[in-house]
Amino acid sequence: NAGVTQTPKFQVLKTGQSMTLQCAQDMNHEYMSWYRQDPGMGLRLIHYSVGAGITDQGEVPNGYNVSRSTTEDFPLRLLSAAPSQTSVYFCASSYSYDRGRNEQFFGPGTRLTVL
């Protein structure tokens, strides 16, 4: 199993450009999520999905869109990049969202810089 994969690993954008961060998992996990990590801030939830066709907003959703058309894929779209979106982005998945351990498995991250 590859686990959770993310592409690209690094990306530089200009203000106003759009792009999609890709995330895929091969563990048949029900729950997937996107976080951003900024210095001194920990990880903050952007969007999450509890299954194909179901998504919801997290703590910091503005400027980002998601969709989940398959169980495996959960892309994150930046509509019009801003310097404030410079961050490291992590995708994560877990078997389900039910109570119990259900730890989240993280991808390697995408380091995004917006100029």
- Which parts of this chain interact with other proteins (CB under 8 A)? 31, 33, 35, 40-45, 48, 50, 56, 58-59, 88, 90, 92, 97-106, 108-109
For other proteins, which is the closer residue by CB, 13 or 90? 90
For other proteins, which is the closer residue by CB, 3 or 63? 3
CA distance 56 to 43: 17
CA distance 50 to 88: 23
For other proteins, which is the closer residue by CB, 17 or 67? 67
CB 101, min distance to other proteins, A: 5
Residue 75, sorted as left (phi over 0), alpha (psi -120 to 50) or beta, turns out to be: beta
